[in-house]
Structure 1
Amino acid sequence: MDISGLSLLLTLFILRPAAKASAEEITWTYSGLVGQSEWSEYFPECGGTAQSPVDVITTQTKYDSSLIPVTPLGYSQHGNKPFTLYNNGHTAVIELPEWMGLGGLPWLFTAVQMHLHWGSGGPSHGGSEHTINGLSADAELHVVHYNSELYPNMSAAMTQRNGLAVLGILIVVIKGLKTGEETNPGFNNILNYLSRIRHAKQSAFIPAFDVQTLLPKDLGRYYRYNGSLTTPPCYQSVMWTLFNERVQISKAQLLKMETLLYSSTAEEPDRMLLQDNYRATQPLNHRVIFASFSAESGKELSPGEVTAIVIGVMCGCVGLAVIVRFIVKTIRFFRLLHLETVVVNNSSTSSWDILHNNRPAPMPRTKKPEEDEKKQDMVMNSTSDGEIKDKPETDP
């Protein structure tokens, strides 16, 4: 080992204990000397057994019928006071007013801030912190709240169990759009002002806006589990709600996240792009992830699967129509065949038997000629005798 290498080791040996003694002053990163693989050395809770984010394996989630839709409180009542947007060197943070909150949980939670996580557009296509069935989204939005029923402020709540509630919104780029097309105006309320905070420690006021426009439309289908902050000090105090529905943005909007901000300050000579600011998924360690919907109803279909189902249904309907038409024709055929058989079987009988109602009344039968002659003789004889009897006798 050369002298330069030895001096580097001595420097690290001297500085590391000092860093451990004052963790708040450590400048942690997602990669490098104090990257996420070294977080637990400086921030012990980052090595805990209930860390976030996690990979949600949908077949291993447990349906919980008691999980009701979450209710944003005051998200749309942004008022006239501007929001504060700032670059903390790790992400873009938007401070939220205290009248915003979250219902539908065991306690009332008050909003504090929201921030974003994204990738770098590289071949890994990562960006989100949580994954579902091993697949990551392009980015992820976190809306952070503290338990205002049990604790007076964020600082007091963040170290306690169930002290925080965070909404996780997975963000994906919609495919097939033309360059420059915007698909989510809500996110432009943030992305259009990133150029004002390009360097770490910079902040700016931005117009207030409806925060609910950043959320998915379906707030009733989500995954719930107990976890931690995804950045140091990684306190295990978060009740996570990860929505099943993804929010869509355009490629142009994602590029603004990935390319506009720096993790370095304006004074630093070497500028470092703020990219890949997402933590790797952590082990569940026997934790249970609950789902507010059953596995069958919660299955999300891809556009190809939806198209295949539609085509299948149409083909099924056509096939059913053909079968019904065939059956009807078959029934008609056998009916006609039966009628023809009846006509053939009755052809040997008289037409009067078939149409008996039209048969004329029978004529009276005539008597035989011999009997008539006898009757005529008898009449003549009786007449002759009568004449003889009635004739007067004459004297000789």
Structure 2
Amino acid sequence: MLKHLSEPAMVRSAALLMVLVLCADSQDYCYDKTDCDPYAWGDSFPSCHPLLELHHSPINLDHHMVRNNSLGPLHLEGFDAIQTGHWTLENDGHSVLLQVGSGMAVSGGGLPGVYHVIQLHFHWGGLATNGSEHTVDGRRYPMEMHLVSMKSIHPNVSAALDDPTGLAVLGFFIDVVYADNVYFGLISQKLSSVAYRGQMTKVKPFPLLSLLPKHNMSQYYRYSGSLTTPPCSQAVVWTLYEVPIYISWSQLAQFTSQIFSTEEDAEQVTPLQNNFRHVHPTFSRTVSASRDAGLLRGTAGRPLGSAPVVHLLQIIVLGSFTFKL
């Protein structure tokens, strides 16, 4: 059982199982072809069929959410420390994943237990499209980061997927500004080493809290849902943070232009873009706002994204970025 953070071997085994389950077979699903895109996943993965009243993810966040004053800040154990060993960055053909090993846990904030952090990964759009999975008032952010954890009472991921609260995912929207995010750069600077599916590289650990909107961690939204990739198990407690992580246009472009869903020696390499699942109805589910989060008021407020995505195209055309494809 994963009872203590001092059991690194067990946690590493769980991490491997997590990767196998969350990523599935790269031949079985995709994002860009009609026979294997998210609308066809149910043909190979029955749990991905969006049947009536099933609790699928992602969803749209809107003014129907309710305030829950019992939802305070989560306890993020080990997030402010530099973990030992090394982390592994991988291109699995569907996303870029950072395996963080043992040493960090998530609890409190209304979560039904302690969850051990396994990995984080990203979803993004294309050169002219935003790519967050969840939407806010029907609009997408440029990217979204998911921090995946498994409930410590479960011996493996298979058991966790049979528990409606077996996994906890912290979701962070990613918006763009003109300055690089130094800590995000510790990941994005390694992308050239994992440009193609199956490639992996080592990443020196850093305090994960430095990557997050640490001054706004009490502002989030909560609902029950599913994995957003096959097998789409309805086993996730979602925590979506209101304040985004900010990165630069060039850091965004490293994902949208330099990552491929195919192997390096493929006859035709395919860019990995728009790797997000479509939004699903909430049905009877309650979406709660934490006591410090703002309640959404329809379409009021500035558009998502700090500038039109077309401006990114203009920057690329003008040669402000140098890509090594």
- Normalised by the length of structure 1, the TM-score is 0.65
Cα distance between partner residues in 2 of 1:79 and 1:295: 30
Report the 3-state secondary structure (helix = DSSP H, G, I; strand = E; otherwise coil) of the residue aligned with 1:39: helix
Q: Deviations over 1:252-306 (max 9, x none)?
A: 1100111111100122110101111111111112211011137867779549xxx
Q: CA deviation at 1:161?
A: 1.1
Structure 1 residue ranges without an equivalent (≥5): 1-22, 304-396
Structure 2 residue ranges without an equivalent (≥5): 1-23, 304-325
Cα distance between partner residues in 2 of 1:296 and 1:265: 43
Give 1 or 2: higher helix fraction: 1
Q: Deviations over 1:190-235 (max 9, x none)?
A: 0000111111011111111111122112111111000000001100
Count how many residue pairs are aligned between Structure 1 and Structure 2: 271
Match of 1:36 in 2: 38
- In the TM superposition, what are the counterparts of 1:209-358 in structure 2 within 5 Å? 209-217=206-214, 218-293=216-291, 302=302
Letter in 2 for 1:161: P
Contact 1:221–1:298 (Cα < 8 Å) also in 2: no
1:56 aligns with 2:53: no
More displaced stretch, 275-284 vs 153-162: 153-162
Q: CA deviation at 1:27?
A: 2.5
Contact 2:70–2:291 (Cα < 8 Å) also in 1: no
- Normalised by the length of structure 2, the TM-score is 0.79
State which structure, 1 or 2, has the greater radius of gyration over its C-alpha atoms. Answer: 1
Contact 1:119–1:127 (Cα < 8 Å) also in 2: yes
Report the 3-state secondary structure (helix = DSSP H, G, I; strand = E; otherwise coil) of the residue aligned with 1:230: coil
Letter in 1 for 2:89: L
Match of 1:108 in 2: 114
Cα distance between partner residues in 2 of 1:144 and 1:280: 20
Match of 2:189 in 1: 192
Distance 1:296 1:237, change over 3 A: closer
Q: CA deviation at 1:106?
A: 2.3
Match of 2:71 in 1: 67
Distance 1:187 1:54, change over 3 A: same
Match of 2:150 in 1: 146
Cα distance between partner residues in 1 of 2:197 and 2:97: 11
Cα distance between partner residues in 2 of 1:278 and 1:25: 15
Distance 1:24 1:111, change over 3 A: same
Cα distance between partner residues in 2 of 1:40 and 1:94: 27
Contact 2:26–2:92 (Cα < 8 Å) also in 1: no
Match of 1:86 in 2: 90
Report the 3-state secondary structure (helix = DSSP H, G, I; strand = E; otherwise coil) of the residue aligned with 1:128: coil
Distance 1:54 1:169, change over 3 A: same
Contact 1:112–1:154 (Cα < 8 Å) also in 2: no
Letter in 1 for 2:55: A
Match of 1:133 in 2: 137
Match of 1:201 in 2: 198
Equivalent position to 1:98, from 90, 98, 102: 102
Distance 1:249 1:77, change over 3 A: same
Cα distance between partner residues in 2 of 1:50 and 1:275: 26
Distance 1:295 1:202, change over 3 A: closer
Cα distance between partner residues in 2 of 1:247 and 1:205: 23
More displaced stretch, 62-71 vs 225-234: 62-71
Report the 3-state secondary structure (helix = DSSP H, G, I; strand = E; otherwise coil) of the residue aligned with 1:166: strand
Match of 1:76 in 2: 80
Distance 1:292 1:195, change over 3 A: same
Q: CA deviation at 1:78?
A: 2.7
- Percent identity over the alignment is 34
Bigger relative contact order (CA 8 A; separation at least 6): 2
Report the 3-state secondary structure (helix = DSSP H, G, I; strand = E; otherwise coil) of the residue aligned with 1:239: strand
Letter in 2 for 1:116: F
Match of 1:313 in 2: none
1:121 aligns with 2:121: no
Distance 1:163 1:297, change over 3 A: closer
Cα distance between partner residues in 2 of 1:155 and 1:287: 24
Q: CA deviation at 1:137?
A: 0.3
Report the 3-state secondary structure (helix = DSSP H, G, I; strand = E; otherwise coil) of the residue aligned with 1:245: strand
Contact 2:219–2:243 (Cα < 8 Å) also in 1: yes
1:47 aligns with 2:44: no
Distance 1:238 1:259, change over 3 A: same
